[in-house]
Amino acid sequence: MGLTGNAVLILAITLAVALFAVTIWCWPRLARRSVPTVFGRVGLLLATQVAVFVSVGLMANNSFLFYGSWADLFGQKQDLGVVTDHAQGTLAEKNIVRVGTRRPDVPGGSRPASAGRIDKVVIAGRSSGITTSAYVYLPPEYFQDAYARRKFPAVVVLTGYPGTAENLIKGLDYPKTSLGRVRAGRSQPMILVMLRPTVAPPRDTECVDIEGGPKTETFFADDLQAAVAAAYRVGRHARNWGIIGNSTGGYCALKIGLHHPGRFTASAGLSAYYKAAEDPTTGDLFHGDRRARERADLLWSLDHLPQPESSFLVTTSRQGEANYAATRKFVAKVKRPARVSSIVLDSGGHNFNTWRREIPAALEWMSGRLSES
């Protein structure tokens, strides 16, 4: 039974209710003052509380998709192997392999020309040496004859840490929201490249190139774009590419956009922070390199490095988000030729519900800054 399936949740709730009923039924018999009855009371109370805790945890996980599978919950590595196919015309020649497809969760999802298609791919970074899985959402127009010769703008979409790419599809509804914005005439069709920033699990690399370790920044700034553009009808210019993410993914999106304006013209950070975290999940990111640590501080970068001719979007809330003050500082430090926009909610926590309120406007903002050619 899958971690996010209804069967596991129903089983946990049933067990909690049954243990509660057994506790009530047996309590009079366990009221005596003896060692066995004391242990009986403690055991029933503990079992009931654990069952209730598990039920609540499963309901929260089904709502917010913190973990997509049992392996993800227990930190087991799930990276897919790379198939090397030397036949002509395969995606493997372009450092990307399609390993499956799925239907978007919208009416008409079985017809790509009506709802688009989601490809599950494995991307092998030529420069970074990093291999990771991702989902590529292709809009309906990609399969329509009228657009057969057209290239599409692309947006890299990142989860938080640890996150799973499934969160972007099932929890944050990026393909469904993008399709809805296009149908409403509020956005142009865009290809979405959805993955998590944790490309060297379980380590949180904060999207930096670590000395002697994963070259995560190189992967996102160089390899990812090259692989996708070689396999799909996507332009190779900065004006064709945007990057968006939430939490750690938001920091990464802003960082990559700020430091690589020749790759991405628009970057959006939902509930982002602005300085690389350094804790047990990251390990030693900078190995004493003061310049690298300063560069990973986006507020420092805005003060000390040339500002790019790029657009940035940041989001926060006046109540519920810890990044409100830092976001105001980021906005104040952005100077021409860079441009900055913001979404400020009255209230909203650091969670999926808040990000779902921001994503439609963020995709419209992104669409208005990308070009198809």
Please give the residue that has the higher pLDDT: either 70 or 217: 217
pTM comes to 0.79
Q: What's the one-letter identity of residue 82?
A: V
What's the pLDDT at 184? 96
Nearest to 138 by CA among 123, 124, 155: 155
Q: Would you place residue 6 in the very low, low, confident or very high pLDDT band (cuts 50, 70, 90)?
A: confident
Does residue 242 register a pLDDT over 70?
Answer: yes
Please give the residue that has the higher pLDDT: either 63 or 281: 281
Give me the half-sphere count of Cα atoms (radius 13 Å) on the Cβ side of residue 292: 14
What's the pLDDT at 37? 84
What's the pLDDT at 282? 93
Mean pLDDT throughout 331-360?
94
Mean pLDDT throughout 343-362?
93
Tell me how far CA of residue 119 lies from CA of 56, 99, 143, 228, 326, in angstroms.
33, 8, 13, 12, 37
The sign one gets for the Cα dihedral 276, 169, 180, 358 is negative
What's the pLDDT at 122? 93
Sheet containing 191-195: give its strands across: 96-102, 117-124, 131-138, 191-195, 154-158, 241-246, 266-270, 311-319, 339-347
Dump pLDDT digits (tens) for 115-150.
999 999 999 999 999 999 999 999 999 999 999 999
Omega cis (within 30) before 162: yes
Does residue 58 register a pLDDT over 90?
Answer: no
Cα separation, 229 vs 233, in Å, equals 7
DSSP for 216-273 reads: HHHIIIIIHHHHHHHHSSB--SGGGEEEEEETHHHHHHHHHHHH-TTT-SEEEEET--
Does residue 241 register a pLDDT over 90?
Answer: yes
What's the pLDDT at 105? 82
Cα separation, 7 vs 1, in Å, equals 7
**Max intra-chain CA distance, the chain:** 83
On whether the CB atoms of residues 372 and 250 are closer than 8 A, the answer is no
On whether the CB atoms of residues 148 and 243 are closer than 8 A, the answer is no
Mean pLDDT throughout 46-51?
90
Which residue's entry shows tokens 């332009």?
235
Beta strands in 103-175 (DSSP E): 117-124, 131-138, 154-158
Cα separation, 240 vs 50, in Å, equals 51
Nearest to 153 by CA among 89, 71, 243: 243
Average predicted confidence (pLDDT) for the chain: 89
Dump pLDDT digits (tens) for 186-210.
999 999 999 999 998 889 999 999 9
Least confident interval from 76-85, 244-253, 297-306: 76-85
DSSP 66: S
The sign one gets for the Cα dihedral 325, 329, 332, 337 is negative
Dump pLDDT digits (tens) for 23-37.
888 888 887 778 888
What's the pLDDT at 25? 87
- Tally of residues, the chain: 373
